[in-house]
Structure 1
Amino acid sequence: MPLRFFVCLLICSCSLSIQAQTPPYPRNYFRNPMGIPLQLSANFGELRPNHWHMGLDIRTNAQENYPVYAAAEGYIAHIGVRASSFGRFIIIRHPNGLSTLYAHLNDFFPALEEFVRAKQKEKESWPIELDFTKEQFPVSKGAFIAYSGNTGGSQGPHLHFEIMDTRTEKRLNPLLFDFGLKDDVPPTLSKLAIYDRSKSVYDQSPFFYTLKNTDSGYIIPKIPVINTGLKKISFALAATDRLSGSNNPNGIYSAKLYLDEEPQLAFILDSISYDETAYMNAHVDFKMRYNGGGFIQHLSRMPGDLGAAYHPIKNDGVIEFNDTLLHAVSIDVSDAHGNRSTLNFMIRYYDSLAKPSTVISKPLVIAPTMVSVVEKPGFEMYISDKAVYDTVATSYFVAGSASPYVFSDIHQVGEGSVPVHDDLVVRLKLKRKVPEEWQDKLIILRGDRKGSTVRKAVWQEQWLSAKFSDFGSYQLIADVQPPQINSLGSGDTVNLSAASRIVFTPTDNYGIKSFKAILYSCTADTLGYHCSGDSLSAGQWLRFTNDKGRNSIYRFDETCPYGVHKLKVTVEDLVGNTSTREWWFKRYPYTAPPPKKTSSKKGKGTKTIKKANEKAKKDVKKTVKKTKK
């Protein structure tokens, strides 16, 4: 039997056995959640900073406010409004045991939007999370539920769409359901990397080989055989995928490693839970990415990787040579539609090529699956057995600080180029006495060359503690500076008649915790002057949005009628420092001057949205009727 044919049989049989373990996915159960042709800007399992992408990003022609529809019948079980992450989102629970999530939305459908705004006012909070019973907001398949947007952590207008198991909340790959996407393009393989697994992946830079696609598959050009002096190795691959008719690079679905026709390991991105999505940092060469390189995906499982993406068959994908014979390696990469690309090459171990190992002695060694504790004068760090993926050999440094606001030395353990899965517990001891009025103002600042993070310190006798998700330098600082609030405008009574909104951009040296605005209105016509006593209404909370955590924005609505008002704004930082400012302003009917005549043509996208919104208005009436029932 020809070798290539035999390898193909093995690949197919292994693929079938793995797919047989995958739960069945209902076909034609879910519809396209948009009313426009389905086009993707990102797929499930795409590599992102510190996580896999957990759904599909659906294009909306770089515009907002396309109507979004329920992918199947069910009921709205949860909504959220967040400054980052999903922004405004909806979760619909379906009767088949699955749920769908729709994120980065603008307004919800009218009845739901009205309900959410009322709850925000009741709780005096713009960020909000609400659960619903199946009787409150039932939806039919294709019912209008919201408008698409760009809220939260979105970098541009699109709809983020997820399918999950309702019971476990594990996200399922939507491309395994039938959404009618055309895809006959196999994955693209660009680079192969080889690692010396006799030492940690964090203590080396791999050997790279550029790949070339041929009629018989991918090869390493001009290198018929890789001769190596590494006795224990693993491989990694740079690979992307794309759909038919699209140049957008997406993530691959699976990769399987074979040595001499025997399967060694596979990783398959069919389902991922949010509890394990951070294991993506063990799946890629994190250090390379941190230092500005691209994503390289390991074809071996790190010792501290407890995620479900890998299916080890032999030695976690690590290959150890016990001879100097030629060995055949095959790597089979596929997308969710079954398109495949295969890399084949030969490798041989030569003892004469082995180089003496050069181990740089470092005083701190942190091992996966083991608890580690760093104890130094004035500093302690607790590292759990789930914190690191591979052995970390690092150093400890200490330096002083002359700042009157710093109450500890600066202690450094490692750097941010090594990923951390489970939080590190950091404890710092006071170097000198803290004034009594500052004792509740202490923070721990972590930093490295890529940036910094801040946590409020918790007292533990003479020590202060906080949790961090990165190595770096740590110091204890008193934050005694209150936030800064920009001005509403000039004058004794600011004239906002021509304005459609109020915008504040408060700032703080270490981060803002909360923003609150209260409106007091003159109950009688004061002819533009201030009022007081019985003429001033009780304060009302104003709904300032804070999308993306940048600006706090209030768009004028019925809460602020025409007349004279007093606005009180309070901003609090992470340790409780507050700033409060007050302004009087007036707002009366305003007629803008007529605009200059210009010749303009509406774009195709604008017409598409207008047409889609006309359909949505009809769908709203249907949805409202069903909701009232």
Structure 2
Amino acid sequence: MYCGTKVKKYAGFSCSLSPLTFVPMIRKLIGFCCLLPQFLHAQYLPGKDYPQGYFRNPLNVPIELAGNFGELRPNHFHSGIDIKTEQRENLHVHAAADGYVSRVSIAHTGFGNALYITHPNGYTTVYAHLNRFFPGLAEYVKQKQYENESWAGNIIIPPDRFPVKKGQFVAWSGNTGGSAGPHLHFEIRNTATEHPLNPLLFGFDVPDRRTPEVYRVAIYNMDESIYEQQPMIVPVKKVNGVYVSTASVIQVKAAAAGIAVNAIDRQSNSPNPNGIYEALLFDKEEPSIGFQLDDIGYEETRYLNAHADYREKRGGGPWLQLLFSLPGNHLDIYHDINGKGRIDLSDGERHPVKLEVKDAYGNTSTVKLTLQQSGATPAAPACDNPMRPGAHNIFENNHVEFFLDETALYDSICFNYRELANNSARAYSNTYRLHTALVPVHDYFDVHIKPDKPVPAHLQHKLVMVRKGVGEDVEPATFETGWNKNGWYKASFRSFGDFHLEVDTMAPTITALGGVKNGSNLSRAGRLAFAMRDGSGIADYRAELDGKWLLFSRRGNVITYTFDEHCPPGAHTLVLTVTDIAGNEATYTLKFKR
């Protein structure tokens, strides 16, 4: 390619040079201009243009990651970075930039105590699993909780109520909600869309010179549903800096192949196996398709079950990330360059295939394979009840029925049904096996079951629908209250499995912790705690002290009240009411002194 008197423009650079001015600096510039198109050509996936250095580390310890953005989790992508807190709680958390506290959320699951700060540059930062908010905010939140008579909830805060400066102390780190150990979950969101973005693309100082580790690839027949085939799993090992398979040529019984990759990434200062950022597939050295894990909204995060081979993972296998998009996958992380990840092997020739797997800092691992068609996959047997993505799918008989809308399935299935005897004294129907829990469903769907024996009037509102998945040890039963219409009971679920109706008349149990008994003098006590238990699940709890609502926080099924101004010195009566999903109530009354 010649770069001389003609003007060439690439990505904002121009090369307009006279052949007569060949000084050394001009030669370097000419060389750069001539090579620049090649550099740009290699950028097959879109670059990012996030502000660098705008946000600071929210802690005063170096960032060491326990988890990163896009890491694969059950039913969702991890939406931020998990920063280690030296295996302890109550580290000071600081505002990552100027802004204002716009929201707090409180729950016994998920983020636990979470703080949201909105910034003037169009981003919002999130700080989760906190133990406590800074004093002024904590008092404001407590006031709202008493006004709403609810410990859990989302509290929207006016923009002028709590302005903050970059580096300002805002909370203490903790281990609340669904956290499995002390750490800070930190997010950067697009304020307008509320989509979490990949924080590692914002220039944080996280030491990372390690390339991703690739363990295996999987090969699929692209002319069959992913749920109606068993992928070919190909282990790989690193040889001379490149991951390769033990077989020089991989024989594939399919005319068209698709690829999935099993890989992790680690940072230089952390051994944790975190997720990769990007993967790109090449067929005969030509780019085909790639994905990038960034900008994934909470409303679409469940599409992880379409991005990864759900059946393989739920069946005890590894995470396999697909380099092709299933028909019912509407996740916008894929970038089709040429071929949508479909590798045409029908010519019988050997096809060199390459994968480039990257982390957010550009560290790259390369995988090289050679594929060749070797015969055809036997034709699939005829299916009596096919169900397809993008269609309304219905199953019904005299005992059970359900309906899936067009967004429920990611790929086609041959629906299987079985009726199993249920001899439990609590059961009011047989067990109906609706396909298998190894196949994911995206949306909630209504299951209708008709009892196979009369339900006495006093038990009709105590009937619950029970679903079991892949064995009780793997997935505990889930219970949903049924709604009765014309003798049928309806409940909503988000997974296939085994379903039946049973009656639940057992009230929850409430146990006082710490040896507290009626008549106790609690003048020196700092808190009160109770454990709640129920077979079908706790739906709600309410505590009243001398007839007034009292704030009890919840962690798992333990609720705690910390003594404060709402319990002055004197004699008191505490009434605690716990309700399960079937409406059964238990009441615990405690008389004590302060």
TM-score, length-scaled by structure 1: 0.84
SS of 1:30's equivalent in the other structure is coil
Give the direction of change, closer, same or farther, for the CA distance of 1:323–1:143 in structure 2 (3 Å limit): same
> Where in structure 2 are the equivalents of 1:450-599 lying within 5 Å?
450-487=475-512, 493-497=519-523, 499-520=525-546, 539-547=547-555, 549-587=556-594
Kindly state the Cα deviation for residue 578 of structure 1 after the two structures are TM-superposed: 1.3
Q: Given the alignment of the two structures, is residue 218 of structure 1 paired with residue 243 of structure 2, yes or no?
A: yes
Matching residue's letter, 1:194 = I
SS in 1 for 2:43: helix
Q: Secondary structure at the match of 1:509?
A: coil
User: Residue 332 of structure 1 is aligned with which of 356, 364, 367?
Assistant: 356
Distance 1:491 1:106 in 2: 28
Verify the 8 A CA contact 1:268 1:309 in the aligned structure 2.
yes
In structure 1, the residue matched to 2:346 is 322
Which amino acid letter does the alignment assign opposite residue 283 of structure 2? L
Greater displacement, 90-99 / 309-318: 309-318
CA shift digits 1:290-317 (9 cap, x unpaired): 1222211111111111111112234431
Contact 2:439 2:496 (8 Å CA) reproduced: yes
**Cα distance in structure 2, aligned partners of 1:116 and 1:277:** 29
| 1:3-35 deviations in Å (ceiling 9; x for gaps) | xxxxx9999645525324x4x201111111111
Question: Secondary structure, in 3 states, of the residue corresponding to 2:227?
Answer: helix
Amino acid at match of 2:378: P
C-alpha distance in structure 1 between counterparts of 2:252 and 2:524, whole Å: 73
Residue 272 of structure 1 and its aligned partner are, at CA, apart by 0.6
What SS does the aligned partner of 1:333 have? strand
Aligned partners of 2:110 and 2:177 also within 8 Å = yes
> What is the aligned length?
556
Secondary structure of the structure 1 residue equivalent to 2:137: helix
Aligned to 1:384: 405
CA distance in 2, matches of 1:355, 1:186: 36
Task: Provide closer, same or farther for how the CA distance between residues 347 and 170 of structure 1 changes in structure 2, counting only shifts above 3 A.
Answer: same
What letter corresponds to residue 27 of structure 1 in structure 2? Q
Contact 2:64 2:269 (C-alpha < 8 Å) held by counterparts: no
Q: CA deviation at 1:570?
A: 0.8
- Structure-2 separation of matches of 1:9 and 1:136: 50
Q: For 1:274-330, what per-residue CA distance to the aligned partner results, in whole angstroms no more than 9, with x for missing partners?
A: 111111111112112112222111111111111111122344312232212222211
Counterpart of 1:32 in structure 2 is 57
Q: How does 1:270-309 map to 2 (within 5 A)?
A: 270-309=294-333
- Asked if structure 2 preserves the Cα contact closer than 8 Å seen for 1:362 and 1:395, the reply is no
Change (3 A) 1:134 1:346: same
Structure 2 residue 188 is the aligned partner of structure 1 residue 167? no
Give the match for residue 349 of structure 1: 373
Between the aligned partners of 1:218 and 1:323, the Cα distance in structure 2 is 26
Task: Tell me, in whole angstroms, the C-alpha distance in 2 between the residues paired with 1:495 and 1:35.
Answer: 42
Q: How far 1:435 moved relative to its partner? A: 2.3
Deviation digits for residues 572-629 of structure 1 (CA, Å, limit 9, x no counterpart): 1113221112122234xxxxxxxxxxxxxxxxxxxxxxxxxxxxxxxxxxxxxxxxxx
1:190 and 2:215 are equivalent in the alignment: yes
Deviations 1:131-187 (A, max 9, x none): 011111111111111000000011100000001111111111111101122222111
1:208 — aligned with what?
233
State the shift of 1:361 in Å: 5.5
Match of 2:111 among 71, 86, 107: 86
Number of the residue aligned with 1:176: 201
> What residue identity is the alignment partner of 1:339?
N
- 2:578 and 2:253 mapped to 1: Cα distance? 62
Contact 1:93 1:166 in 2 (8 A): yes
Aligned: 1:250 with 2:274? yes
> Per-residue deviation at 1:402?
4.1
Distance 1:192 1:516 in 2: 52
**Residues in 2 aligned to 1:75 and 1:341: alpha-carbon distance in whole angstroms:** 41
Q: CA RMSD for the aligned pairs?
A: 2.2
Cα pair 1:300 1:318 within 8 Å, conserved: yes
Q: Distance in 2 between matches of 1:238 and 1:11?
A: 30
CA distance in 1, matches of 2:68, 2:241: 28
Shift of the alpha carbon at 1:227? Answer: 2.6
Letter in 2 for 1:562: P
Take 1:90 and 1:40, find their aligned partners in 2: how far apart are those partners?
A: 20
Q: Which structure: greater helix fraction?
A: 1
SS in structure 2 opposite 1:451? coil
What corresponds to 1:4 in structure 2? none
- Output the TM-score relative to the length of structure 2: 0.89
Deviation at residue 445 of structure 1 after TM alignment: 1.0
1:330-379 per-residue CA deviation (whole Å, 9 max, x = no partner) reads 111111111111112222223xx44534x355543221222110011121
* More contact order relative to length (CA 8 Å, sep ≥ 6): 1
Paired residue type of 2:217: L
Gaps of 5+ in 2: 2-34
CA distance in 2, matches of 1:102, 1:148: 9
- Which residue of structure 2 lines up, in the alignment, with residue 527 of structure 1? none
The answer as to 2:16 corresponding to 1:16 is no
- Preserved contact between residue 363 and residue 395 of structure 1 (Cα < 8 Å): no
The correspondence of residues 103-114 of structure 1 with structure 2, limited to 5 A, is 103-114=128-139
Among candidates 42, 46, 52, match of residue 67 of structure 2: 42
- 1:204 offset after TM fit, Å? 2.8
State the secondary structure of the residue aligned to 1:454. strand
Paired with 1:370 and 1:114, the residues of 2 have a C-alpha distance of: 51
Shift of the 27–407 alpha-carbon distance from structure 1 to 2, 3 Å rule, reads same
Q: 2:435 corresponds to which letter in structure 1?
A: G
1:184-210 deviation digits (Å, cap 9, x = unpaired): 211111112112233222233322222
Give how far 1:216 is off: 4.8
Farther-moved stretch of structure 1 (156-165 vs 572-581): 572-581
Change (3 A) 1:270 1:12: farther
Question: CA 1:192 to 1:12, structure 2 compared with 1: closer, same or farther past 3 Å?
Answer: farther
Q: 1:496 to 1:15 in 2, by over 3 A?
A: farther
Which segment drifts farther, 138-147 or 243-252? 243-252
Alignment of 1:415-430 (within 5 A): 415-430=436-451
Partner of 2:121: 96
Shift of 1:496: 3.5
Mark the CA change 1:463 to 1:245 in structure 2 (over 3 Å): closer, same or farther. same
Aligned to 1:131: 156
Structure 1 residue ranges without an equivalent (≥5): 2-7, 521-538, 588-629
The one-letter code matched in structure 1 to 2:332 is: A
Contact 2:512 2:531 in 1 (8 A): no
Mapped contact 2:388–2:409 kept (Cα < 8 A): yes
Q: Percent identity?
A: 40
Aligned to 1:608: none
Query: Shift of the alpha carbon at 1:492?
Result: 5.2
Letter in 1 for 2:153: I
Cα-to-partner distance string for 1:377-415 (whole Å, 9 max, x where unaligned): 121110111112112223111134344543333211112
**Distance (Å, rounded) in 2 between the aligned partners of 1:490 and 1:42:** 40
Q: In 2, are the aligned partners of 1:11 and 1:332 still within 8 Å (CA)?
A: no
Partner deviation per Cα, 1:78-126 (whole Å, 9 max, x = no partner): 1011010000001111111111111000110000000111111222211
Q: Is the 8 A contact 1:80 1:90 kept in 2?
A: yes
- 8 Å contact 2:101–2:118 — kept in the other structure? yes
2:389 is the counterpart of 1:368: yes
Tell me, yes or no, if the aligned pair for 2:117 and 2:125 is still in contact at 8 Å. Answer: yes
Asked if structure 1 preserves the Cα contact closer than 8 Å seen for 2:429 and 2:450, the reply is yes
Aligned AA (2:399): G
